[in-house]
Amino acid sequence: MTKRRNIFSLASVLLLAVLCLPAAAQDNPFLVTPTTPFQTPPFDRIQIDHYLPAIQEGINRHQAEIDAIVDDPQAATFDNTIVALDMSGQLLDNVAAVFYSLLGTNNSPERQEIANQMAPLLSAHNDNIALNEKLFTRVKSVYDERAALKLSEEQLFLLENTFRGFLRSGALLDDTQKARLRDINREHALLVLKFEDNVLAETNDSYIIINDKADLSGLPDGVIAMAEEEAKAMNLPGKWVFTTQKPSWIPFLQYAAARDQRQALYTAYFMRGDRDNDHDNKAILQKILTLREERSRMLGYATPAAFYLEERMAKTPETVNAFLMRVWKPARARAKTEVTDMQAIIDGEQGGFALSSWDWWYYTERLRKARYDLDDSALRPYFKLENVRMGAFTLAEKLYGLKFTERQDISVYHPGVKVYEVKEKDGRLLGILYMDPFFRDSKQAGAWSGSYREAFYQNGKRVIPFATLVCNFTKPTSNTPSLLNIDEVETLFHEFGHALNTLLANGTYRSNFAPQDVVELPSQIMENWVLEPELLKLYAKHYQTGEVIPTALVDKLNDSRQFNQGFETVEYVAAAILDMAWHSLGDALNVNVTNFETKTMADIGLIPEILPRYRSTYFTHIHGGYEAGYYSYFWSEVLDGDAFDAFKETSLFDKKTAASFRKNILEKLGTVDAMTLYMRFRGHEPTVEPFLKRRGLL
């Protein structure tokens, strides 16, 4: 009866809010019920000036919902407080999800300006909720009575995490501290935006122009054609432009014989944000970390690392550092051996120079070809983007019975985006998937998966999710389709795994509390199928002849799986250690960024031929959810290696194993303790040895 009264009260508030909207606001597509298929975002109607009014209205409605919870005369219960809080803010979340997704995929100066206006609004609104004493009193009241409430496992998990979230957001601080925390959160939000905007600007401004055709020696025709088209787009006919986007700079570093040009492009890449210009990120990084330090101390934590890790599987900085060093030592030894092997090639050709970081890809490719007769350019024709995408869909069908159907009647924000309706084997609608594969100047570098809406249950019915999958693959040229390298193939499968986690999620509530160091499990496990012969024969087909990739070529690929693992492991772990070092400081404002980075790498003995995968000034992960958490990829790789063994112990597409992984991991991750879920799937805790063995480090 209380719940019905609360819903009625809330419905009245929202109806009044809609009726009181001015006519112009009622034309805002965010503020009316969408008429699109499945109520997907109406991108064809959304204009840039719709966002701020929609955000403000979303804040107003959310605050009205919070007020209704706080002012409820009934005693606090799980339903009228915890569930009501979980269900609040849907309009605001939906608008913000669309806006911030497009900020990453379709950025513009106008969108950046809106982001800067939104950041303080959202920061203040979040603080108004987190620091609302009356709301916290109601939440605490329910929490204190939890033992007598007979809650389900999922309900108890929601309650405990909601209560802890208030504590971690400053609910127990005094008024002076709360005021300072508000200032910290507002300033932090703006600085993170500025950092990311600078990285995008630096990436777009970092490239080399090739004037002499001789400097193209060694490059495949497709790579040259892409550079020629890039030059034409920049109004540089007769020249070739190579950018710091991975589809451009990695092939150049792999194949370009012109060492001076390799050095120029690599330098352009690793100096982003560190040029003492208008987009320099050093001072911004110091300010961000200083604010994190102050906030952590205020909340009772010694360092930001201690604060962030409390809610992760690793729990403590000591656990993370021990894990990273266990991987680091054998990886560095392996990398030194790889240096010796490549230096031998240089010396054998009387090169007269020592291997440098900009030489690594070039001589690795030479060594790979010599040892395994394996050439990346010979592999790409078998991995046409459309075929690889079909391979990922086929895998999902074989494991979980899913069906993917392209929908051309659902609007998109860019012509390159494709939309798919995802259904269960029995025809039930599961969700919608948006795929945005190609790089462009308005898109942040890298690859990621997110959503415009998460799955949850409302009035007993599952609200379907809208998942996104974003990459920065090589664009098709006028005569060649988009052909992926092995890393890009694995990237697509990886991000598709994240999307599956979004599409298959079946928690009751909107809140999700998956630890950051386990969220990569659903994605990384998908990479294990990429080179399995049973799946390869279904999707790896030559784009011109339709020939399935030859068995001999697959064997060479599998034989080379541990090749260059010293480098790949070292550059990753170096970045993870750098992340932990920054978040373990107490005085970032007084640290010289360049010197600190150099000393941190020297302290662990990073060899000069390798740089950390991300230098501090463009390390966007640690400002986008991976604060003191970049180690998570390897932590999850320990899990995914053990999890994939469950399939190998039965069969590659074993239905029973897949059903268990779906039920315990993909559907429930973030709604129950992560290790509990993993144990239910696997029957035991994972160990690090299989991970080390797979990387050739044992």
Mind telling me the catalytic residues? 495
Longest dimension (CA), the chain: 85
Distances (CA, A) of 522 to 26, 64, 497: 40, 37, 5
| Three-class DSSP category at 180 | helix
Task: Report the Cα–Cα distance between both ends of the chain, in Å, rounded.
Answer: 62
Q: Rounded CA gap, 643 and 648, in Å?
A: 9
* Residue 492: closest CA among 336, 376, 387: 387
Q: Rounded CA gap, 597 and 594, in Å?
A: 5
Q: What is the DSSP string of 342-386?
A: HHHHHHHTT--S---GGGHHHHHHHHHHHHH---HHHHGGGBBHH
For the record, the structure tokens of 136 come out as 């916290």
Half-sphere exposure at residue 687, Cβ-oriented, CA atoms within 13 angstroms:
5
For the record, the structure tokens of 659 come out as 């059903």
Q: Are strands 466-473 and 448-453 parallel, antiparallel or unpaired?
A: antiparallel
Q: What is the DSSP string of 422-464?
A: EE-TTS-EEEEEEEEEE--TTS-SS-EEEEEE--EEETTEEEP
Torsion of CA 274, 277, 282, 285, to 10 degrees: -120
Q: Are strands 429-438 and 466-473 parallel, antiparallel or unpaired?
A: parallel
* Residue 400: closest CA among 648, 664, 678, 654: 654
Neighbours of 50 (CB within 10 A): 20
Distances (CA, A) of 303 to 291, 317, 522, 532: 11, 9, 30, 44
516 contacts 625 by C-beta, under 8 angstroms:
yes
446 contacts 200 by C-beta, under 8 angstroms:
no
Name, in order, each residue with C-beta under 8 angstroms of 465's C-beta and a sequence gap of 6 or more.
431, 432, 451, 453, 454, 455, 502, 503, 505
For the record, the structure tokens of 15 come out as 């109806």
370 contacts 471 by C-beta, under 8 angstroms:
no
Neighbours of 693 (CB within 10 A): 12
Backbone Cα Rg of the chain: 26
| C-alpha dihedral sign at 176, 180, 511, 44 | positive
Q: Rounded CA gap, 154 and 137, in Å?
A: 22
Helices (H), 299-359: 304-309, 317-348
DSSP H or E segment with residue 99: helix 90-105
Helix 360-372 / helix 317-348 crossing angle, nearest 10 deg: 70
Q: Which residues pair with 405 in a beta bridge?
A: 421
Q: Rounded CA gap, 622 and 580, in Å?
A: 10
| C-alpha dihedral sign at 88, 94, 100, 101 | positive
What are φ and ψ of residue 406, in 5° steps?
-65, 135
For the record, the structure tokens of 304 come out as 């930001």
Q: Which residues pair with 453 in a beta bridge?
A: 466
Neighbours of 233 (CB within 10 A): 10
